[in-house]
Structure 1
Amino acid sequence: MHTSVAFVLFSLLTAVCGQQIGTLTTESHPSLTWSKCTTSGGCTVQEGSVVLDANWRWLHSKTGSTNCYTGNTWDTTLCPDPATCAANCALDGADYTGTYGITTAGDALTLKFVTHGPYSTNIGSRVYLMASTTKYQMFMLRNQEFTFDVDVSNLPCGLNGALYFAGMDADGGMAKYPTNKAGAQYGTGYCDSQCPHDIKFINGEANVLNWTPSSNNGNSGTGQYGTCCTEMDVWEANSVSAAYTPHACTVHGQTRCSGSGLYGGVCDKDGCDFNSYRMGNTTFYGRGLAVDTSSKFTVVTQFITVDNTSTGALSEIRRLYVQNGKKAAFGDTNSFESKGGLTGMGTAFSKGMVLVMSLWDDYAENMLWLDSDYPATKSVTTPGVARGTCSPSSGLPASVEANSPGSSVTYSNIKFGDIGTTF
């Protein structure tokens, strides 16, 4: 899952995560209902909520309001080293609607792309589904089905409304790392198969060592460490293209990695992606097509095991779409070997994974890997290069942010349970 954090500062707020708890803004998680479904009992509504990822939050001095991180650099007085920074800096609560453009209504979550708040302009967001005020909801995916409705009609080229599962700790890493005082309540402990190095705190320590500010993003940089875990990209999409991609890792659970060898070695960063346009069916997904992205539709993902039990080995990931009472299917992801393939994915599924929902633009590759021709070094006639109808010049974050600030994505009607019970 490619990610980037962009949070343009005009005053005190800054997009960064921390490990102490601040007291200047009260943290209140927006409520979000979802349903748990069984063959014998039907679907039962579950009372949940969402929490904002720590990397978007204001990090300030524990005893005041001095930024620990401004733009894309650390305050060297408050953060001379990882441990001292964790002791000095506090992670504060979030104004979900006013600052971040995050709203919920019953079973629906809407993420707005650009939000002009009282102190800042925020770009995109990432949230997690909560089981309680201090724990993420954990999903055991083997021999289960996950369904949601999505509206991508307001997502143009260059944007990605992503819904996926990550092998994070339920408490955000508090039990493992005592210096992490904020935990899941404040959105800590993120990891994915890209082993992102832009996460500000990993394993309860600030990622300040060898921090390098980004050359094209004034609000981001990379540190010495990355944070890796298995990732199941159920949904990465806009109104033009969509993909689902399992990414296996050889490590189990959230793991801090250092160095280019480990960064490229423990996880399958490319994954085994399935994009119907890339596979040659150019009339399946898009405005006015079989799956018509001009209106809401239902996405069903089934995680099939060899013996149809929750303990069996994962053998297939099946995708179905439902819209206006009609069902459409396009292909399965049957096998891939890198970093353990479906067997490795199944191991992570049995331990439980956290549901992540986000909206972002791409400072690294302009989202061309999702909705255009990629990589640019290869001919468009090469199989797999054409991934969507967006122009190769599209997706530049500065342009997308300037031209499409009102973009948004809405996820709703989330259901999880036995195969065949959620739609």
Structure 2
Amino acid sequence: MYSAAAIFAFALLRSVRGQQIGTYTAEDHPVLTVQQCSAGGSCTTQSKSVVLDSNWRWLHSTTGYTNCYTGNQWDATLCPDVDTCTANCALDGADYSGTYGISTSGNALTLNFVTHGANTNVGSRVYLLDDENTYHLFNMKNQEFTFDVDVSNLPCGLNGALYFVQMDGDGGKARFPTNAAGAAYGTGYCDTQCPQDLKFIDGQANMLNWTGTSANSGTGFYGTCCNEMDVWEANSLSAAFTPHVCSGITGQTRCSGTACGEGDERYDGVCDKDGCDFNSWRMGDETFYGPSMTVDTTSKFSVVTQFLTSDNTTTGDLVEIRRIYVQNGQVIQNSATDFPGIAAYNSITDDFCNAQKTLFGDTNSFETRGGLAEMGDAFEAGMVLVMSIWDDYAVNMLWLDSDYPTDGDPCQPGISRGPCATTSGVPATVEAESGISVVYSNIKFGPIGSTFA
């Protein structure tokens, strides 16, 4: 166990306003309907909306329209130091469709990958709002979550992701006085990778030691950590669902140094970056998911995820995560593990995770950080729904859809994760392709057995 002082180098917050709101573009959250279901299958439609993550937004001076951040660097005049930058810079509203390729229609959300406007935008990340200033918080214990997805336009190297993270419901606005924007402008993101590419963390500019890593992004001194449940990470060739947990923190927490788990310190950080993944291809069934396979990714299908507890209540320990698919009226049970020396698991349990890690020779950081019980505690505290589309500048998404690590023997269990070539997924290549998108629709949630027939 690390001491708080060793893990989190929190800076004292000064009485300045920061992460303020710009007025150049009106913020109009796209409306998205969802359904909350009750036992027996009766569902009520609710009108919600989505909000774009703050990291994609235009960040400019509070007194004009000079960029605080251009390309992958901060403006030296507006941002000579953290406090000055925090006070000088404002987040502006978003042109969701024209700039970011984000649109809604009824219960459907479409995310286009590359959008060419005045500037070229790549990828996006949005959150489900309860109201204009508050994220919807989910407790999925003893509940199920269902959505339809169309991944037919997602090739190798892309990730259409739907997942939960333990963000603050108000985006951190109450905890951090320098965050004036809050959930209304998509602030407060965190996950188990403890990302250091966010321009603002805890309401302060993350410009200390900022280093550009691609044309539009970089990394700062701090990262932002929290529990994460990846309900869906997929393209048309491969898919995985994965719980990740953290130890010693509750909710969104800023990290630095070893606690962020970067590079060679991956397993020394506070969060489990590997998670306990169930990827049908990686678990030995190479005919289950893909074009014209059991789950046919050339057309839309439903994804059902059930979160079972030890006592069948919303307060019991989380003990199992089950996956079911529905396509063309057919209910399809999840594939089972198909390797010698391991039972035929078709869901995620702590026993499955331990057996999988042993079979693959992977570090079991999921167990050491609390396993499924920790994931359940995060849900009970409330988690935010995230939907995104992205490519991977680190390893070209090979961890999802190809052989990874690339120097491993693909005949060894756990190395092959999908049919894509190890040369695929290069961002410059996939970003030059046209027509890449993902559509999430028909979101339903409620007690086990209530969201699908």
TM-score (norm. length: structure 1): 0.94
1:260 maps to which of 255, 258, 261: 258
Rounded to whole Å, the distance in 1 between the matches of 2:116 and 2:303 is 31
- CA spacing shift, 1:94–1:262, aligned 2, 3 Å: closer
Deviations 1:372-400 (A, max 9, x none): 10001211111111111111100000001
**Residue in structure 1 matched with residue 139 of structure 2 by the alignment:** 140
In the TM superposition, what are the counterparts of 1:396-411 in structure 2 within 5 Å?
Answer: 396-402=426-432, 404-411=433-440
Contact 1:372 1:392 in 2 (8 A): yes
In the TM superposition, what are the counterparts of 1:147-158 in structure 2 within 5 Å?
Answer: 147-158=146-157
SS in 2 for 1:98: helix
Unaligned ranges ≥5, structure 1: 1-17
Rounded to whole Å, the distance in 2 between the matches of 1:338 and 1:113 is 36
C-alpha displacement of 1:41: 7.2
2:281 maps to which of 277, 284, 299: 277
The one-letter amino acid of 2:183's match is A
Contact 2:237 2:420 in 1 (8 A): yes
Contact 1:144 1:302 in 2 (8 A): yes
Rounded to whole Å, the distance in 2 between the matches of 1:406 and 1:79 is 37
**Residue in structure 1 matched with residue 349 of structure 2 by the alignment:** 334
In the TM superposition, what are the counterparts of 1:22-421 in structure 2 within 5 Å?
Answer: 22-39=22-39, 42-117=42-117, 119-214=118-213, 217-250=214-247, 251-263=249-261, 264=266, 265-330=269-334, 331-335=346-350, 336=353, 337-402=367-432, 404-421=433-450
Rounded to whole Å, the distance in 1 between the matches of 2:418 and 2:26 is 43
SS in 1 for 2:236: coil
C-alpha displacement of 1:80: 1.7
Rounded to whole Å, the distance in 2 between the matches of 1:139 and 1:85 is 34
The one-letter amino acid of 1:107's match is N
Rounded to whole Å, the distance in 1 between the matches of 2:95 and 2:77 is 28
The one-letter amino acid of 2:448's match is I
Rounded to whole Å, the distance in 2 between the matches of 1:95 and 1:83 is 29
Contact 1:248 1:338 in 2 (8 A): no
C-alpha displacement of 1:327: 1.2
The count of residues paired between Structure 1 and Structure 2 equals 402
The one-letter amino acid of 1:34's match is V
C-alpha displacement of 1:338: 3.0
Contact 2:41 2:449 in 1 (8 A): no
Question: After TM superposition, what 4+ stretches of structure 1 lie above 4 angstroms from structure 2?
Answer: none
Contact 2:41 2:451 in 1 (8 A): no
The one-letter amino acid of 1:244's match is F
C-alpha displacement of 1:260: 2.9
Rounded to whole Å, the distance in 1 between the matches of 2:182 and 2:50 is 14
The one-letter amino acid of 1:294's match is T
Rounded to whole Å, the distance in 2 between the matches of 1:94 and 1:244 is 30
TM-score (norm. length: structure 2): 0.88
Unaligned ranges ≥5, structure 2: 1-17, 335-345, 354-366
SS in 2 for 1:122: strand
Deviations 1:127-174 (A, max 9, x none): 000000000011011111000000000110010000000000000000
CA RMSD of aligned residues (A): 1.0
**Residue in structure 2 matched with residue 14 of structure 1 by the alignment:** none
- CA spacing shift, 1:41–1:244, aligned 2, 3 Å: closer
Rounded to whole Å, the distance in 1 between the matches of 2:260 and 2:230 is 22
Rounded to whole Å, the distance in 2 between the matches of 1:120 and 1:358 is 20
C-alpha displacement of 1:42: 1.2
Rounded to whole Å, the distance in 2 between the matches of 1:343 and 1:399 is 41
Deviations 1:337-380 (A, max 9, x none): 13110011011010110000000010001010000100012111
Rounded to whole Å, the distance in 2 between the matches of 1:113 and 1:310 is 37
Contact 2:246 2:270 in 1 (8 A): yes
Contact 1:78 1:85 in 2 (8 A): yes
Rounded to whole Å, the distance in 2 between the matches of 1:312 and 1:328 is 28
C-alpha displacement of 1:79: 1.2
- CA spacing shift, 1:102–1:262, aligned 2, 3 Å: closer
Contact 1:169 1:189 in 2 (8 A): yes
Deviations 1:62-84 (A, max 9, x none): 01010001111111221122221
Segment drifting more, 371-380 vs 262-271: 262-271
